[in-house]
Amino acid sequence: MENFNHITIDPMELAGKRVLVTGGTKGGMGEAIVKRLTKAGATVITTARTTPEELKETELFIQADISTPEGTAKIVEYILERFGGVDILVNNVGGSSTPTGGVLKQTDEDWQRTFDTNLFAAVRLDRGLLPPMLKQSYGVILHITSIQRRFPGENTMAYSAAKAALGNYSKALATELAPKGIRVNSIAPGFTETKAAERLIERMANERGCGYNDARQSLMDSLGGIPIGRTARPEEVAELAAFLVSNRASYIVGAEHTIDGGIVRTI
């Protein structure tokens, strides 16, 4: 047993499990989930658009842009050929890159890109990797949505709408696949201070002509503050993911798990 962030990890819990986590390279939730599931004994494959130096030689990394059908097809083909499929699929990639400044600033291209990245990437990967899961009557799929799914951000309306669609799709998929031995669930994080979140804040600061701290504060204010008093660490989200993909969560199906330090006040 190893102690990780004050949590005892069973290094054999996911032994023999083949896992795909999308977007596991840039110090955010994706990378934290890759590390956490690897420590639990799984073989974890990850993807990104850019190949980090340390992952150049490994068969556990696939370079692909998952916002395109070609990118997801490349990932599916590679996994089916080399690994015969995966047992656990964590659809982590997502995010917003649309301009701030209101609805009139959002072009068709902004909306399409946001839905391609946050919804269609998961739909295509799930569909491509489901056949071997169905054949073995076993699989676990996780979708990373956002609290913005039901608490739309003022500057991220396309992203919020795409995450709402992802949550809705995730629920339908869970209902269809549960009788076939496949569990589907989702995680809705709150404000998690990853590099991707820092880039969003920097963009907001540039567009508004204010400093980073002011933009960060205005983001916190738009959330109505965080009752627990701080933003989340990616490892905290990874811990929830590790639980949900394990057999400890064997009866959890079609549920969205909010992890937000209390930001969403409604029940």
Site string for ligand NAP, 35-74 (x = CB under 6 A): ------------xxxx--------------xxx-------
79 binds ligand NAP (CB under 6 A): no
Three-class HEC string of the chain: CEEECCEEECCCCCCCCEEEEECCCCCCHHHHHHHHHHHCCCEEEEEECCCCHHHCCCCCEEECCCCCHHHHHHHHHHHHHHHCCCCEEEECCCCCCCCCCCHHHCCHHHHHHHHHHHHHHHHHHHHHHHHHHHHHCCEEEEEECCHHHCCCCCCCHHHHHHHHHHHHHHHHHHHHHHHHCEEEEEEEECCECCHHHHHHHHHHHHHHCCCHHHHHHHHHHHCCCCCCCCCECHHHHHHHHHHHHCHHHCCCCCCEEEECCCCCCCC
Contacts (CB under 6 A) with ligand NAP, residues 106-145: 117, 144
Residue from 34, 43, 94, 122 touching ligand NAP (CB under 6 A): that is: 94
Q: Name the residue nearer to ligand NAP (CB basis): 74 or 138.
A: 74
Q: Minimal CB distance to ligand NAP: which residue?
A: 28
Site string for ligand NAP, 158-197 (x = CB under 6 A): -------------------------------x-xx-x-xx
Least Å from the CB of residue 12 to ligand NAP: 26
Q: Name the residue nearer to ligand NAP (CB basis): 49 or 180.
A: 49
Q: Name the residue nearer to ligand NAP (CB basis): 41 or 95.
A: 95
Cβ(128)–Cβ(71) below 8 Å: no
Q: Name the residue nearer to ligand NAP (CB basis): 94 or 132.
A: 94
Residue from 41, 95, 152, 254 touching ligand NAP (CB under 6 A): that is: 95
Burial class (CB in 10 A: 0-12, 13-18, 19+), 75: buried
Residue from 9, 17, 19, 30 touching ligand NAP (CB under 6 A): that is: 30
Contacts (CB under 6 A) with ligand NAP, residues 193-232: 194, 196-197
Site of interaction with ligand NAP (CB under 6 A): 23-26, 28-30, 47-50, 65-67, 92-95, 117, 144, 146, 189, 191-192, 194, 196-197, 234
